[in-house]
Structure 1
Amino acid sequence: MGHDKIQGERLIQLDQPITLAFLPFRPYTPSLAREAHAHGKEIMLHVPMANTHHIGLGAGGLDTGMDERTTTTILRRSLQAIPYVQGVNNHMGSLLTQNRQHMDWVMKELFHYPLYFVDSRTIASTVAARSASDHDVPNMSRDVFLDNQQTEESVDQQFKLLVETAKRNGTAIGIGHPHQVTVDYLVKHLPELDAQGIAVATVSGLWAMRHNNAPMFVDVKQPVRTSLAKGKAAEK
């Protein structure tokens, strides 16, 4: 979220309590995040991380060549730029999420707020979730990508896989993107889930289901203080 205002607003208007992940320092991130919060959506930072294909990261990106101080500073400024942020997940990251040292730096920062982490699992050898657990950061991992292929047929196949996974395991996490084909599909098919005995939940809600309603955070430390001025400075 953050680039496409039209598709972003369509996702925000969905009745279901989905979680929306926002890229930092993008044109519509602050306004859409505030609107999403007002509509009862949960907000994450979608932090760009280095990938094996060397695709550009844009503002707020974390790369393997950064030291701990730089990594922490960029992550902190990105968090400050996302109103109502409650958690983090990785955008791309097939390279960085394999690097235990960098993941440890990320999780040390998230622990202080506190914030949860969702591993997008863009590569099977990711160590992000393991690092999060070792740093007492609540975490879960993606089960299904909905739209690696941007066709209605592919999204339908992946969505049905997500439903099957949830029925088999009790819960499942799906990740999609604000492509029109994905949004069109969700607008049409999310309302049909009730009849199938499937409920949609936020990340926090799913955590509660998996942990017998135990609180995600026992000792609240410091809330993320949104600072758009700092965010704009970081973008430059």
Structure 2
Amino acid sequence: MPRRKKPKRPAPSRLGWAFLFLLLLVSILAALWVLRPMVEKPRELPQVAGYPKKPLPEPKVSKPLAPRKPVPQPQRALTPSTPKEKLPVACIIIDDMGQNPSLERKFFKLGLRLNFSFLPEAPFTKRLATEAHARGFEVLVHLPLEAHQVYDHSHILRLNLNQDELKKQVRFLVKKVPYAIGVNHHMGSAFTEDETHVYWLLSEIKAMGLFYVDSRTTPYTKIPEVAKKLGLPFAERNIFLDDSTDFKSICRYLDKLIKEAQKRPVVAIGHPHPNTLKALEAYENRLKTQVNLVPISEFLREKYDKAVLERF
């Protein structure tokens, strides 16, 4: 039997396609119309009691803070406007050292170019003389000599010693002070008036390669006269800072030191008293700016020809 042919489906007409397109367009437009209020204007929130109806103003932007000015640091003591080598020369020696470490170490910390003379048999002499040397200070022996008044000291140099005894005693005492480069005396008003004993003493000091500072505990001292004969470098004390330990009195003598130094080089002697320390602290700036405080060896170099001091 011959196969039956399937009937062909009619092709959609152009009119149908046009209708579908129009329907789709209408649907899109309707959707846009419904959504328009949501896009154009957001829904207003209900007002809350006490809440401002007007919009809040925009926050003000603070101006940037100016950078803080640096706080000036406290300045140390003023440095002299005049070079040190052109300032008047002065020298300060602190005697009676080696007895009170806590007080005496405060003198080391003053920031002044001081010199320290140690009692040979004081209990802390070896330790403190070593510390003073390590800190750059010059060390002397504070040699006990016989005074007119009664003075008890186990190894005092007395006028009843012969030359050999005195020589032995001097060497014994000097060796007790490490790093000593010179000698001055403790008390000694009777001893230094006796020319013979002064000659024996200074001859031994010269033989040991040391210099001498005359503390001038009597106006009748023979030390300058004998030292010149021996060719021994020596200096003389001009001012005692603390014969009175009153603070104002010590300050007056420091004023005198500064004034006298304008005329000539000056040697002043003080002692490790609390008020001496206090006065030196108060005068620290003036002693740095108005005079040139020097080590005692440098003071002697100002006085003597270089050839005389070759051993220093």
Q: Give the TM interval when normalised to the shorter protein.
A: 0.7 to 0.9
Q: Distance in 1 between matches of 2:257 and 2:182?
A: 22
1:71 aligned partner, one-letter code: L
Selected match of 1:184 from 274, 278, 296:
278
Q: For 1:24, what is the secondary structure of its paired residue?
A: coil
Selected match of 1:203 from 280, 292, 296:
296
Selected match of 2:116 from 5, 11, 20:
20
1:114 aligned partner, one-letter code: G
Runs of at least 5 residues in structure 1 that lack an aligned partner in the other structure: 221-236
In the TM superposition, what is the alpha-carbon distance from 1:192 to its structure 2 partner? 2.5
Q: In structure 2, do the counterparts of structure 1 residues 219 and 151 end up closer, same or farther at CA, with 3 Å as the change threshold? A: closer
Q: Report the aligned-residue RMSD.
A: 1.5
Confirm or deny that 1:40 pairs with 2:136. Answer: yes
Aligned to 1:227: none
Quick check: 2:301–2:309 contact (8 Å CA) kept in 1?
A: no
Larger of the two Rg values belongs to structure? 2
Aligned to 2:267: 173
TM-score of the superposed pair, with normalisation by structure 2: 0.66
In the TM superposition, what is the alpha-carbon distance from 1:216 to its structure 2 partner? 4.8
Mapping of residues 124-135 of structure 1, within 5 Å: 124-135=219-230
Confirm or deny that 1:52 pairs with 2:145. Answer: no
2:294 aligned partner, one-letter code: A
Give me the identity figure in percent: 27
In the TM superposition, what is the alpha-carbon distance from 1:195 to its structure 2 partner? 2.9
Q: In structure 2, do the counterparts of structure 1 residues 71 and 12 end up closer, same or farther at CA, with 3 Å as the change threshold? A: same
Stretch deviating more after TM superposition (182-191 or 112-121): 182-191
Q: Distance in 1 between matches of 2:288 and 2:113?
A: 13
1:129 aligned partner, one-letter code: P
Q: Distance in 2 between matches of 1:60 and 1:160?
A: 37
TM-score of the superposed pair, with normalisation by structure 1: 0.87
Quick check: 1:47–1:60 contact (8 Å CA) kept in 2?
A: no
In the TM superposition, what is the alpha-carbon distance from 1:215 to its structure 2 partner? 5.0
Q: For 1:173, what is the secondary structure of its paired residue?
A: strand
In the TM superposition, what is the alpha-carbon distance from 1:219 to its structure 2 partner? 5.2
Stretch deviating more after TM superposition (180-189 or 114-123): 180-189
Aligned to 2:98: 2
Quick check: 2:233–2:304 contact (8 Å CA) kept in 1?
A: no
Selected match of 1:101 from 164, 188, 196:
196
Instruction: Please list the CA deviations of residues 90-121 of structure 1 after superposition, one character each: whole Å capped at 9, or x if unmatched.
Output: 11111000001110111111111210000000
Q: Distance in 2 between matches of 1:86 and 1:45?
A: 8
Q: Distance in 2 between matches of 1:41 and 1:52?
A: 32
Aligned to 1:83: 178
Quick check: 1:24–1:59 contact (8 Å CA) kept in 2?
A: no
What is the aligned length? Answer: 216
- Runs of 4+ aligned residues of structure 1 deviating over 4 Å after TM superposition are none
Selected match of 1:142 from 230, 233, 237:
237
Aligned to 1:218: 310
Q: Distance in 1 between matches of 2:281 and 2:304?
A: 30
